[in-house]
């Protein structure tokens, strides 16, 4: 049965609230000392403007007008007294040298706000090229210690729309502890060689929606960590990058279940993966349930459909011990296009806790090469089928157990 899911009512309600407000009080950072097209850091001006806006008893808007501004690390804290918007019309540039930045702070952090909007068509240029060599987790001890471009923590009923994140030093956008947060018209750009630069990473959040966005980066376009519930991803174009991934999961004790991820009408172009679930072997216990992928286009994608419960990127795992992350109620439907490897479909589940309730239907993926047709592999799973299967999935021509 096809789901034909839509963005939840909560998103429509939040959008109406934001578009229906009366004229807000405006706080222009240039009135607080910010100067466009200069070598002066605008961090203090932005903090001052935001503090006054946050204390406003009527809806407010902090504006960074058009121009190029240098900005060091900034943390904007609620709780604000009324809805607040940060409108970035400008290009903001981070310090290019990682040594100029604190390692315990993101570039721009937004914390503890209800009814927050980030908008304006502006660009957050992380100038990350000097930091990417440090993101080689296989060879660098400093891996993962650089700032993300944007960090949204404990926001509720909020919208991020019409912004661009460019060349982040680490993740472009990190989301933690949010509820009813929607991304619309977000563009993320970084070259394929920008290591560990996930586009949008979400963890321990409920009701996150990502729609009508384009993401091209050097790691997962969207990565989903533990504790995510009811997440909707629609009309997203991914490439370059590593696809849309749930996980990796199971490496850390106490991870919360992932329940309800819906991916629909998305396109993957020249990516390493398409839709993927990844868990570590020899893992801690975990739960992944209700994942649904529908109406997906893959164009020259290396691994279009993947469940990998032996995920071990640097071969530093005990692969003989199974993953203990239980995966159930997963559907892959109407996925079509081309694969640049023969391994078009890989549903390789844990021998310790085999996958349950996996449904595959209307798959039409062809291999671009000359070595033969596209193939599938299946382990520790007994899926059900509807509609077309190209390549055949979990048949006598595919490994199954």
Q: Which of 312, 273, 5 is nearest to 138 (CA)?
A: 312
Q: CA-CA-CA-CA torsion for 368, 400, 352, 230, nearest 10 degrees?
A: 50
Asked if residue 392 lies in contact with residue 376, where contact means CB atoms within 8 angstroms, the answer is yes
CA 365 to chain centre: 25
Cβ-contact 366, 397 below 8 angstroms? no
In terms of phi and psi (left: phi > 0; alpha: psi -120 to 50; beta: otherwise), the region of 258 is beta
Our answer to whether residue 112 is catalytic in this structure is: no
Kindly give, in sequence order, each residue whose CB lies less than 8 Å from that of residue 317, ignoring residues fewer than 6 positions away: 280, 281, 282, 310
- Among 172, 201, 242, 292, the active-site one is 242
Please return the burial class of 170, using the count of CB atoms within 10 Å of its CB with bins 0-12, 13-18 and 19+: buried
Which residue of the set 125, 167, 219, 343 is catalytic? 219
Q: How many CB atoms lie within 10 A of CB 396?
A: 7
> Is there a catalytic annotation at residue 343?
no
By annotation, the residues acting in catalysis are 219, 242
């Amino acid at each position: 049965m096809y789901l034909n899911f839509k963005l939840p009512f909560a998103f429509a309600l939040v959008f109406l609230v934001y578009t229906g407000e009366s004229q807000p009080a405006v706080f222009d950072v240039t009135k607080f000392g910010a100067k466009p097209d200069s070598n002066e850091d605008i961090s203090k001006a932005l903090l001052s403007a935001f503090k006054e806006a946050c204390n406003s008893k009527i809806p407010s808007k902090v504006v960074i007008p058009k121009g190029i501004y240098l900005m060091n690390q900034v943390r904007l804290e609620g709780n604000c007294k009324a809805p607040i918007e940060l409108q970035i019309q400008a290009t903001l540039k981070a310090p290019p040298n990682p040594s100029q930045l604190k390692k315990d702070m993101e570039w721009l952090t937004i914390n503890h706000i209800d009814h927050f909007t980030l908008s304006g068509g502006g660009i957050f240029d992380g100038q990350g090229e000097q930091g990417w060599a440090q993101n080689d987790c296989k060879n660098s001890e400093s891996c993962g210690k650089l700032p993300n471009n944007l960090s949204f923590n404990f926001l509720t009923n909020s919208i991020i729309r019409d912004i661009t994140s460019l060349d982040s030093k680490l993740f472009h956008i990190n989301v933690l502890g949010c509820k009813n947060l929607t991304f619309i018209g977000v563009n993320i750009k970084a070259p394929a060689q920008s290591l560990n630069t996930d586009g949008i990473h979400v963890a321990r959040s409920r009701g996150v929606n990502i729609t009508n966005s384009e993401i091209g980066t050097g790691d997962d376009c969207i990565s989903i960590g533990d504790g995510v519930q009811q997440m909707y991803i629609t009309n997203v174009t991914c490439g370059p990058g590593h696809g849309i991934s749930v996980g990796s999961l199971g490496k850390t004790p106490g991870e919360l279940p992932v329940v309800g991820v819906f991916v629909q009408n998305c396109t993957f172009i020249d990516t390493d993966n398409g839709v993927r679930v990844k868990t570590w072997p020899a893992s801690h216990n975990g739960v992944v349930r209700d994942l649904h992928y529908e109406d997906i286009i893959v164009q020259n994608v290396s691994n279009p459909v993947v469940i990998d419960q032996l995920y071990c990127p640097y071969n530093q795992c005990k692969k003989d011990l199974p993953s203990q992350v239980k995966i159930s109620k997963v559907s892959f439907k109407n996925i079509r296009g081309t694969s640049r490897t023969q391994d078009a479909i890989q549903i390789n589940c844990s021998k310790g806790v085999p996958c349950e309730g996996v449904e595959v239907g209307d798959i039409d993926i062809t291999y671009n090469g000359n070595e033969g047709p596209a193939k599938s592999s299946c382990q520790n799973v007994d899926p059900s089928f509807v509609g077309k299967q190209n390549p055949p999935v979990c048949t006598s021509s595919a490994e199954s157990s």
